[in-house]
């Protein structure tokens, strides 16, 4: 039985990763403090509650399961909060990750898949972002993720910790089978916030700024279906287990959608109006983040086949109506 330690496995992306790991014959071990994750999302392997900062607890879990690899999803990830509380992000995302990396290295668990972000690039006007784009993060979230990337490189040089780093663009959708889905406390992601506004469980959606240098004035983002995203993580794990070198991959589709375009797509999929208002820009938001990399396709054989806006919204809508953990 091959175990994989999944930090943040009770959260949105981590729980979907646990599902695909289980289907592929691995036993995912969820390590989560349940601050933003959900106990009900742990369905595909054992659960161990703990903090990333608790080295003794991590050592205990590594000794118990002797995992072949780590998939590290656990992190704080709200841009607005990162601007107002940067210390919290450096402490949690960087110090916590360093403790985890030290524990993995000490346990001789030297395959590490890391959940990074396109926010490490910052804003590059009219540039389609690939893995060689300079990293100039605009906020403590992106900066903390870039710092962990650097830690991984140092630990590879010192201890042979091989790693695959995935820089995500915007993740959306839900498990089409409805076993796990997206549910945050509080919810800040565009599509679920929009769906909550449609059904009236929250006030109207606020579009943060309409004066960006884009065709309709709203920010543009590249969206990838969560199931496509976690399929890439399975391919990244195989990459490492096949003995291939450490590598960075963007995970996006190469197509950007503005906030207004997502609103229009939601209206078409749900056949309901989306109530919204216009608010001020959020500090730390880039104008446009779109992936231009073909590296994941060329080297991993990754194809984001579910990542159409209609399918992402349809799967999220199904989950939103049927699957919340706190119902």
Q: Looking at the annotation, which residues are catalytic? A: 141
8 A C-beta contact, residue 162 and residue 13? no
DSSP per residue, 196-230 = HHHHTSSSPEEEE-S-SSSTTSS-EEEEEEHHHHH
Q: How many CB atoms lie within 10 A of CB 39?
A: 12
* Residue with the two structure tokens 């346990």: 107
Separation between Cα atoms, residue 1 and residue 26, nearest integer Å: 7
What separation in angstroms does the CA of 146 have from each of 70, 118, 122, 205, 229? Answer: 18, 10, 11, 31, 19
C-alpha gyration radius of the chain: 19
Question: Beta 111-117 vs 288-289: how paired, if at all?
Answer: unpaired
For the record, the structure tokens of 274 come out as 């989306």
Separation between Cα atoms, residue 139 and residue 151, nearest integer Å: 19
Query: SS3 of 293, please?
Result: coil
Separation between Cα atoms, residue 147 and residue 93, nearest integer Å: 9
Q: How many helices (H) and strands (E) does the chain have?
A: 11, 13
Separation between Cα atoms, residue 241 and residue 164, nearest integer Å: 11
Query: SS3 of 307, please?
Result: coil
């Amino acid at each position: 039985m091959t175990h994989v330690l999944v930090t943040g496995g009770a959260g949105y992306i981590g729980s979907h990763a646990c599902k695909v790991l289980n289907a592929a014959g691995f036993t995912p071990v969820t390590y989560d403090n349940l601050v933003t994750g959900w106990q009900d999302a742990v369905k595909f392997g054992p659960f161990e509650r703990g903090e990333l900062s608790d080295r003794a607890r991590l050592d205990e879990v590594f000794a118990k399961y002797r995992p072949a690899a780590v998939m590290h999803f656990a992190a704080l990830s709200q841009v607005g909060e990162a601007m107002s509380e940067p210390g919290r992000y450096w402490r949690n995302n960087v110090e916590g990750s360093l403790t985890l990396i030290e524990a993995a290295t000490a346990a001789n668990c030297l395959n590490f898949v890391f959940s990074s972000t396109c926010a490490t690039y910052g804003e590059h006007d009219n540039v389609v972002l690939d893995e060689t784009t300079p990293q100039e993060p605009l906020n403590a979230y992106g900066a903390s993720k870039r710092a962990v990337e650097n830690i991984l490189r140092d630990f590879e040089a010192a201890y042979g910790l091989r790693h695959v780093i995935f820089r995500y663009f915007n993740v959306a959708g839900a498990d089409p089978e409805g076993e796990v889905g997206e549910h945050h406390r509080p919810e800040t992601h565009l599509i679920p916030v929009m769906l909550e506004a449609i059904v009236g469980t929250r006030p109207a959606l606020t579009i943060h700024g309409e004066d960006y240098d884009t065709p309709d004035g709203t920010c543009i983002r590249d969206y990838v279906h969560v199931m496509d995203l976690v399929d890439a993580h399975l391919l990244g794990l195989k990459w490492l287990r096949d003995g291939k070198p450490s590598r960075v991959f963007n995970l996006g589709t190469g197509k950007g959608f503005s906030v207004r375009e997502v609103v229009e797509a939601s209206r078409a999929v749900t056949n309901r109006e989306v109530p919204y208002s216009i608010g001020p820009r959020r500090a730390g938001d880039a104008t446009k983040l779109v992936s231009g990399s073909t590296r994941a396709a060329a080297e991993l054989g990754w194809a984001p086949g579910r990542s159409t806006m209609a399918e992402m919204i349809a799967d999220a809508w199904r989950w939103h109506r049927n699957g919340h953990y706190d119902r």
